[in-house]
Amino acid sequence: MQRRKSLLLTVLLFFILGAAFLWAEGIKETKLDKAVSRMGVLGETNTTVTFREYSGNIVEIPKEPKRTIVSLNSIMDVWYMAGGESLARANGSISVPEEAADIPLLGRFVQLNTELMMELEPDLLIVSENQHQLEIRDFFAEEGVPGVAIKYNTYDDFRVILDLFTRLTGNRELYEEKLLPYQRQIQSIVDQVPEGEAPTVCILFSSTKYVKVETQNSVTGDYCAKLGAENIYKETTFEGATRVALSLEYILEQDPDIIFVTTMGDVEKCRARIDKDITSSDIWGDLTAVKNNRFIYLDKSFSLYKPNRAYPKAFKTMAEYLYPDIEFTLTE
């Protein structure tokens, strides 16, 4: 009996401490409260943060670095939201904060200039989880420069990244200041989704060379899942994959209510690829989505790239596509 009481007291203590931690962090519960991501902060001290990368690798990252390089612009934008700065960045203009517009360029994100990176003498590297950047992270680690790899696909990933970055920069107050307005606005859109409706969707991803389909573990797939739609290519079926091989027969069999298209590269060339690989089929016109004029090309600013500061607007746009009879409004 005494042992059982001790066990109950221990469980109760952990519950109280957990509640106190959430209260201290100032995080308010919503339907979106629990971020589902393979990444996460595991702990911290006064000088370091322990972080689990998407791959499962666990790293210890020093706090308040003075000379950081963030090598993917969508991730760098979140770093600036957390009060950080980068010594250099990858080529491109999308997702580049105004403060970083004129910093040195490192080249394409899949072919970064490592010599320039070495000349800049960083004390922390924040890279994406593509093979090229992982190799750069490993090279600098051998030289004693710590690094962390980030895989950024979904809104939940964004929340985890902002959580990590505000801990690293020492600007923890920015986590609540930046995130909670987004949470409220996105939740307001989710709350306006009509009950009992679950439109089925297929998300095509087109480059100039090939067409694939996206699972719910993609940027657009995540919007659809959070807004109550059902992706005919469920992420769990494909073991965490973001994009998988196209099967026109499967799409025809599932006959989705809506077909979204996101493009990478020249949009007109991507449209030509879609026409060649898919819409030229004799039976394409039999699809419900095509008959109802719900074959929709998405703006790549929020379907290919991460919207970051524009997440509420992106969710509103997607909700309007999914439920065209509803007039969605964003709360302030």
Give the domain-ending residue among 170, 187, 204. Answer: 187
Residues 143 and 235 in one domain: no
225 and 164 within one domain? no
Res 3: pLDDT: 41
Residue 282 burial by Cβ neighbours in a 10 Å radius (0-12, 13-18, 19+): exposed
Select the more confidently predicted residue: 29 or 71. Answer: 71
Using CA atoms, how far apart are residues 128 and 160, in angstroms rounded to an integer?
14
Q: Is residue 257 part of a domain?
A: yes
Q: Among 234, 244, 249, which Cα is nearest to 286's? A: 249
Q: What does pLDDT average to over the chain?
A: 87
For 122-159, the pLDDT digits (tens) are 999 999 998 999 999 999 999 999 999 999 999 999 99
Q: Answer yes or no: is 330 within a domain.
A: no
Residue 265: inside a domain, yes or no?
Answer: yes
Residue finishing a domain among 137, 171, 187:
187
In a domain, 70, yes or no: yes
pLDDT over threshold 70, residue 16: no
Q: Is 105 a domain residue?
A: yes
177/174 Cα distance (integer angstroms): 5
Residue 181 or 33, more confident: 181
Domain shared by 217 and 181, yes or no: no
Please check whether residues 162 and 233 belong to one and the same domain.
no
Query: Are 169 and 99 contained in the same domain?
Result: yes
Longest distance between any two alpha carbons in the chain, whole Å: 75
**pLDDT band with cut points at 50, 70 and 90 for residue 170:** very high
For residue 25, the model assigns a pLDDT of: 39
Range of the domain at 77: 27-187
Judge if 222 and 318 occupy the same domain.
yes
DSSP 74-103: HHHHHHHHTT---S-B-S-STT--GGGTTS
pLDDT of residue 97: 94
Buried/exposed code over 78-100 (b: 16+ C-beta within 10 A; e: otherwise): bbbbbbbbbbbbbeeeebbbeeb
Strand 68-70's sheet: what is its strand order?
68-70, 124-128, 147-150
pLDDT at 238: 59
Tell whether 44 and 150 lie within a shared domain. Answer: yes
User: Position 286: which residue type?
Assistant: D
Compute the distance between CA of residue 211 and CA of residue 263 in angstroms, rounded to an integer: 9
Q: What is the Cα–Cα distance from 47 to 188, expressed in whole angstroms?
A: 38
Burial class (CB in 10 A: 0-12, 13-18, 19+), 131: exposed
pLDDT band at 284 (very low <50, low <70, confident <90, very high): confident
Residues 208 and 114 in one domain: no
User: Is the pLDDT assigned to residue 10 strictly greater than 90?
Assistant: no
Domains identified in the chain, total number:
2
In a domain, 97, yes or no: yes
Tens of pLDDT, residue by residue over 231-262, are 998 755 556 678 888 888 899 999 999 999 99
pTM: 0.85
pLDDT above 60 for 293: yes
- Mean pLDDT throughout 196-204? 94
Looking at 187, 215, 243, which one is the last position of a domain?
187
In a domain, 141, yes or no: yes
Q: Are residues 34 and 176 in the same domain?
A: yes
Looking at the domain assignment, is residue 17 inside a domain? no
Asked whether residue 76 falls in the same domain as residue 156, the answer is yes
Q: What is the mean pLDDT of residues 74-85?
A: 97
φ, ψ (nearest 5 deg) of residue 213: -120, 150
- What is the predicted pLDDT for the residue at 149? 97
At 313 the pLDDT is: 96
Is 88 a residue whose pLDDT tops 50? yes
Lowest mean pLDDT among 96-100, 222-226, 265-269: 265-269
Domain of 291, CATH number, reads: 3.40.50.1980
Q: Are 45 and 110 part of one and the same domain?
A: yes
User: What integer pLDDT is reported at residue 12 of this predicted model?
Assistant: 39
Residues 179 and 202 placed together within one structural domain of the fold = no
